[in-house]
């Protein structure tokens, strides 16, 4: 018997990455340029679309500040800050957003899956540390030919089963465009604490979001529990 499936992005949806990925971008740019950028500037680039890959975004910001950096060198520095030696990386600052029991209730009615811009190994690190819920399948950026806003990840998940309906939950215009390209209804997340919050809400609505919520704990307003 088919059942509905809800696919989640991870960053800023399942996991608060303010002090992990977003801070790593800021520190990587500072390392190469000597200039400390704001998280609001990072969000400004994200809101433009096309910057789902944080490595490429960091490289672009460096270039816009007048410093050209080789991609492999930048990735190595970024990963050193983000992962550290396993005991001191910024990844350890991540916080799970779902309230206790919420995803368990959702999972009783829906299949729960993930399509993330993270590498699959990095997604697993955080899920193993923070989540007590099973997501299946979990698709990382290294498992698709083209990253968001291309629909490859959602199409791959669609092929794993026969779903009565499918939803994608994300926080960026690239997530929304990915859902649109896959012909999947999109639910936007815009934390009130996020930089440029009102702009995010407006952009996600303009991209066709069925609803724009403060966080995933409000999904019951859209999806019957």
Kindly list the averaged pLDDT for each block of 10 residues, start to end, along the chain of length 225. 93 97 98 98 97 97 98 98 96 97 96 97 97 96 96 97 96 98 98 96 98 98 93
Q: Which DSSP letter does residue 106 get?
A: H
Cβ-based neighbours of 50, under 8 Å, separated by 6 or more: 149, 174
pTM of the model: 0.96
* Helices vs strands, H then E, count in the chain: 9, 8
Tell the residue number behind the tokens 């934390």, with chain if given. Answer: 191
Q: Which residues pair with 166 in a beta bridge?
A: 5
Residues of the chain with CATH 3.40.50.1000: 3-16+95-221
Q: Domain spanning 3-16+95-221: which CATH class is it, in words?
A: alpha beta
In the prediction, which pLDDT does 1 show? 63
In the prediction, which pLDDT does 225 show? 87
In the prediction, which pLDDT does 16 show? 97
Spacing of C-alpha 203 from chain mean position = 16
Q: Beta strands 163-170 and 15-16: pairing type?
A: unpaired
Evaluate whether 161 touches 152 at the Cβ level (below 8 Å): no
């Amino acid at each position: 018997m088919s059942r509905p499936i809800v696919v989640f992005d991870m960053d800023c949806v399942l996991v608060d990455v303010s002090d992990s990925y977003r801070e790593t971008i800021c520190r990587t740019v500072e390392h190469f340029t000597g200039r400390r950028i704001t998280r609001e500037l990072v969000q400004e680039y994200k809101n433009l679309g096309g910057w789902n890959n944080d490595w490429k975004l960091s490289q672009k910001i460096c270039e816009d500040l007048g410093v050209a950096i080789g991609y492999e060198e930048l990735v190595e520095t970024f990963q050193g800050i983000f992962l550290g030696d396993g005991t001191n990386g910024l990844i350890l600052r991540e916080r799970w957003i779902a309230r206790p029991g919420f995803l368990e209730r959702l999972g009783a009615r829906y299949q729960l899956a993930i399509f993330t811009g993270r590498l699959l190994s990095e997604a697993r690190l955080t899920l193993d540390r923070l989540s007590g819920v099973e997501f299946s399948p979990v698709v990382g950026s290294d498992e698709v030919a083209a990253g968001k806003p291309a629909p490859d990840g959602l199409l791959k998940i669609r092929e794993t089963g026969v779903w009565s309906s499918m939803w994608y939950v994300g926080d960026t215009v690239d997530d929304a465009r990915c859902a649109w390209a896959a012909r999947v209804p999109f639910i936007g997340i815009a934390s009130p604490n996020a930089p440029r919050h009102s702009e995010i809400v407006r952009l996600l609505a303009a991209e066709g979001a069925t609803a724009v919520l403060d966080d995933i704990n409000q999904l019951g307003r859209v999806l019957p529990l």
